[in-house]
Amino acid sequence: MLRTGPSSALTDDQTGRAARPANATASVVENAPHRTVTKELAHRTTETDVFPTRWSRISDTRFRFTAHWPAAHPFFGPVDAIHQDPMIVGETLRQASMVLAHAEFGAPADTHFVMWDLTVLTDPGALLLADAAEPVVVDVVCSEIRRRGRGLAGMRTTMEFRRAGRFVARGTGSTGCTSPLAYRRLRAGRLDAMDKPVPALPGIEPGLTGRDRPEDVVLAPGDGPGVWHLRVDTGHPVLFPRPNDHVPGMVLFEAARQAATAASGLRPFLPRAMTVTFDRYAELHSPCRLETEVLDESPGEVTVRVSGRQDGESVFSARLTSARPRPVRSLS
């Protein structure tokens, strides 16, 4: 699998050698023409689920997006009365990556995408509901670009997110692209999974996962402490916006976050660092077991390792770190 390694500064070549930070080009971007993000480019079915709104090209591998993170959303809503959901950063990165793959790197509309890894680093103190009306500026560097003929075989996108002039997050992810013909060969015998109903397992209590609505829970009871099973609801309008023959990577990312929340007992579990690597497709009709390990590696923080296994093989592994809530002092 391709390794994830966010750099300390967003640079052209991602090596830290002789490259200017992407956010040092404001004068260039101001004069660059903007293009509008459509729900088709972002692989969403409704406009309200599209978070990048427009973008401009800086160079062959550098771009700037404007995004909007709404204060209210049926799935990516606030995690408490103060903070927006850090998962919206990863979803914005995913959408922007596919927009660029199609519109700037020539991936056809029927391309199948597979996510190999995703890392998101956030400043939770900047993910404020009070700033939701402000636009999010996203500087993007594309690297590890792999071509197959004239088409795109895959690339890494690294993004820095700022709002109201303040750093909010940084993320990086590697994505592979597959043609419909190659995908049919790769997934032979599995494509008919879309035509078979997937019974949704009963979910655990929403409050344990940091969720408010039962339909947003992606964990089902397991057979021991810190163990759950993946709950798949192919009718969920955000997690499964269109028919799929496997469990999307962002569903597994959300499952890792919910498992980390449940295992740590933190409310809210507000991660400053989230990393996930994907080893294989998660199938719809086979149980996927999630195991967690809570680590106390740093004072004031808790880290949770989450692993997903199916049919005896690793599907994904994740690591999430959140600050522990500070105790409230009594005024009496």
137 and 200 together in one domain: no
195 and 159 together in one domain: no
3-state helix, strand, coil in the chain (%, to 5): 20, 35, 45
30 and 170 together in one domain: yes
What local confidence, expressed as pLDDT, does residue 330 receive?
A: 39
Q: How far apart are CA 205 and CA 6, in angstroms?
A: 35
90 and 132 together in one domain: yes
Nearest Cα to 258, choosing from 123, 116, 114, 85?
A: 85
Whether 116 is covered by a domain: the verdict is: yes
Whether 14 is covered by a domain: the verdict is: no
CATH of the domain at 318: 3.10.129.10
176 and 205 together in one domain: no
133 and 216 together in one domain: no
150 and 27 together in one domain: yes
Q: Which amino acid is it at 318?
A: A
- Of 138, 157, 184, the residue that ends a domain is 184
Please check whether residue 256 is in contact with residue 306, taking contact to mean a CB–CB distance below 8 angstroms.
yes
Whether 4 is covered by a domain: the verdict is: no
Whether 33 is covered by a domain: the verdict is: yes
Question: Which residues in the chain land under pLDDT 50?
Answer: 1-9, 11-27, 328-332
144 and 243 together in one domain: no
* Angle between helix 249-264 and helix 87-103 axes, rounded to 10 deg: 170
Whether 89 is covered by a domain: the verdict is: yes
What range defines the domain where residue 167 resides? 22-184
237 and 208 together in one domain: yes
Q: How far apart are CA 76 and CA 86, in angstroms?
A: 9
What local confidence, expressed as pLDDT, does residue 29 receive?
A: 52
- Of 184, 212, 246, the residue that ends a domain is 184
88 and 141 together in one domain: yes
141 and 205 together in one domain: no
- Of 167, 184, 201, the residue that ends a domain is 184
Whether 56 is covered by a domain: the verdict is: yes
What local confidence, expressed as pLDDT, does residue 10 receive?
A: 52
DSSP of 243-254, one letter per residue?
A: --SEE-HHHHHH
What local confidence, expressed as pLDDT, does residue 220 receive?
A: 98
Whether 6 is covered by a domain: the verdict is: no
The number of domains in the chain is 2
Q: Which amino acid is it at 288?
A: C
Residue 127: exposure state from Cβ atoms within 10 A (0-12, 13-18, ≥19): buried
Whether 3 is covered by a domain: the verdict is: no
pLDDT digits (tens, 9 = 90+) for 276-296: 999 999 999 999 999 999 998
Q: How far apart are CA 155 and CA 174, in angstroms?
A: 6
55 and 139 together in one domain: yes
What local confidence, expressed as pLDDT, does residue 78 receive?
A: 95
